[in-house]
Amino acid sequence: MEEVYQAPQVAAGRGSETMLAPLEVQRMLALQALGWGSKRISRELGCSRNTVRE
């Protein structure tokens, strides 16, 4: 399996929330298409499960 890299996060301007980089969103969608669950994707990408489920 190819190695997945952490994409840089961009400040959203609302409190401590940050927006995901488009590349990171593409990786999430690709892993979901492979049948990965949100918990596994969040561990792989280093983000919250809630971020993956949104």
What is the predicted pLDDT for the residue at 5?
A: 62
Class of residue 24 by CB neighbours under 10 A (exposed 0-12, middle 13-18, buried 19+): buried
Over the stretch 4-37, which tens digit does the pLDDT of each residue have?
A: 666 555 555 555 567 788 888 999 999 999 999 9
Residue 4 maps to a domain: no
Residue 3 maps to a domain: no
Total number of domains in the chain: 1
Residue 18 maps to a domain: yes
Expressed as residue numbers, the domain containing 49 is: 10-53
Between 1 and 19, whose confidence is greater?
19
Residue 41 maps to a domain: yes
Q: Check whether 38 has a pLDDT greater than 90.
A: yes
Residue 33 maps to a domain: yes
Give the CATH number, domain containing residue 43.
1.10.10
Q: What's the pTM value of the predicted model, to 2 decimals?
A: 0.64
Cα 49 to Cα 42: distance, rounded to the nearest angstrom = 5
What is the predicted pLDDT for the residue at 22?
A: 87
What is the predicted pLDDT for the residue at 19?
A: 78
Residue 23 maps to a domain: yes
